Each structure stands twice: as C-alpha cells, then as structure tokens.
Amino acid sequence: MGEVSFYINDLYTSAPVGTTLLEAVRSMDIEIPTLCHHPDLKSEGQCRLCLVEIGDWPQTRLVNSCTYPVEKGLKVQTHSENVLQARRLVLELLLARAPKAEIIQKLAAEHGISQSRFTSEDPEELCILCGLCVRTCRDIVGVSAIGMINRTPAKMVSTPFKEPSEVCIGCGSCAFVCPTGVITYTEKNGIRSIWGRDFELVACETCGSYIAPRASLEYWAKQTGDPVERYYICRNCR
C-alpha cells in the first residue's frame, strides 16, 4: 500500500492509501467531534459532525471525514467558517431533538451553543439516531436484533415489529455503545431485562458473580466452536 500526500489546514502531510480523512486529521492531533463514528465499526456518515471542507476555493464542498478517503493533493480544512457554521447548526438541531443528552449538551457548549433556537418535540428524548447500536448488533454481535424503523417523522431504533426479538442474546452491546445512554437494561434476581425480554444470567461456577445472559454465552460458544461450559467461568476466575 502506497502513501498519499495531501493538505490538512494548509499543512502538507501524507497517509496510507485508504485512510479516511478523519483518521488522518486525528493522527495530527486535530480534534473533530463525532457521534456516529466508532473505530471498530464501518462509518456511514449519519451525524454530520465530522464534516470538513475539501477542494480549492471557491469550488469547495463539505464532506463527512469519517468515510472520505485521502486523495492525492486534496486540500482539507477542518475548522473553516463553513465547517463551523454547519457543525454548529447540526448541534443545534441535535440539541432540539435530544435536549437531555449530556454528550450533546457538552458538544453544543463547546461550540458556543447554550440553547437551541429550535422547537423540541420531546424534552425527554435522548436518542440521536446515530445508529451505533444497530451497527454494533449487526456487524459486531452479528444477530441484527434491532434495526431502524420508519422514516424521518417516526424513525426509531426498534426490534422487528416492536416485539421481543427472538434473535436478541441480551448481550447489552447496544447499551454499551450508545453515546447518549438511551438504551438501558435492568438486572434483578439473576434476570437481565432488555428490549422487552428477560434473560437468565449465568453465575460463575467458581466465584458466583453473574457473567452474562445464558443466551449470550450459548451464542458465543456456537460462534467460536468452544464447549459452552468454558464460558461458565468468569474471566477473572479462568
């Protein structure tokens, strides 16, 4: 793989072919905010916070840096007026959507926004529809128990037909990856409840502390080909 040379904020730099602009920019210790990006997932460009301005003035345009690959001679501006203006408005829209989401409040404040000028439909909303949970469930866990349903007016993350999903293994990865904490689960009396289903938690055969739902352990055993008993001992006791 060869290297490509390009400009970031007028600095001549280079990166291996296939590097995204976001990776290249961050490797230079320039901070670009992101919400829907995760290093272990394929980016899909939902949140539009990582926008950068590319091209020669006046023929410039904004692109999301999380999927845009480095190009020879490309000129990239990470904090131009156009970028900041768009980023601020995106944050303002997100703040109106999910006023309670701490990460949005924090990012907005960092960009000089204390209050959104826009109407909030639901002051309790936390979900920003970044899709990290859906992609994690699909691409990392591999079960696709949740997905996006509906279009703009009623778009939301849900199990199929809003009913308890048969393929969900209760692993909680969706809750773990969620940047705003909208996905939650409860654990009580050895039962984990998530997405409308109850999962029996397996206790470690050695120390007795709960490891994970039985459905998760069985799924991982099946995925790896290991005997499921191996998973009945927690990581600390192995």
Specify the residue, 47 or 174, whose C-beta has the smaller distance to another protein.
Answer: 47
Q: Quickly list DSSP for 38-103.
A: -TTS-----S--SEEEESSTTS-EEEETTTPBP-TT-EEESS-HHHHHHHHHHHHHHHHH-TT-HH
Q: Is 115 in the site for another protein (CB under 8 A)?
A: no
Q: Is 139 in the site for another protein (CB under 8 A)?
A: no
Cα dihedral 126, 94, 29, 61, rounded to 10, equals: 150
Q: Is 180 in the site for another protein (CB under 8 A)?
A: no
Q: Which of 7, 9, 55, 63 binds another protein (CB under 8 A)?
A: 63
Q: Which of 7, 9, 30, 44 binds another protein (CB under 8 A)?
A: 44
Specify the residue, 93 or 191, whose C-beta has the smaller distance to another protein.
Answer: 93
Specify the residue, 61 or 162, whose C-beta has the smaller distance to another protein.
Answer: 61
The stretch near another protein (CB under 8 A) out of 26-34, 149-157, 171-179, 210-218 is 149-157
Whether the upstream peptide bond of residue 227 has omega within 30° of 0, thus cis, is no
Q: Is 59 in the site for another protein (CB under 8 A)?
A: no
Decide: helix, strand or coil at residue 174: helix
Q: Is 8 in the site for another protein (CB under 8 A)?
A: no
**Considering the complex, what minimum distance in angstroms separates the CB of residue 232 from another protein?**
37
Q: How far apart are the first and last CA of the chain?
A: 40
Specify the residue, 20 or 216, whose C-beta has the smaller distance to another protein.
Answer: 20
Is 33:106 a contact under the CB 8 Å cutoff? no
Which residues contact residue 89 at a Cβ distance below 8 angstroms, ignoring those fewer than 6 apart?
none
Q: How big is the chain, counted in residues?
A: 238
Total number of residues binding another protein (CB under 8 A)? 36
Specify the residue, 9 or 82, whose C-beta has the smaller distance to another protein.
Answer: 82
187 to 226, contacts with another protein by CB under 8 A?
none
| Other C-beta atoms lying within 10 Å of the C-beta of residue 30 | 15
74 to 103, contacts with another protein by CB under 8 A?
82, 85-86, 89-90, 93-94, 96-97
**Considering the complex, what minimum distance in angstroms separates the CB of residue 7 from another protein?**
19
Percentage helix, strand, coil for the chain under 3-state DSSP, each rounded to 5: 30, 20, 50
Specify the residue, 58 or 208, whose C-beta has the smaller distance to another protein.
Answer: 58
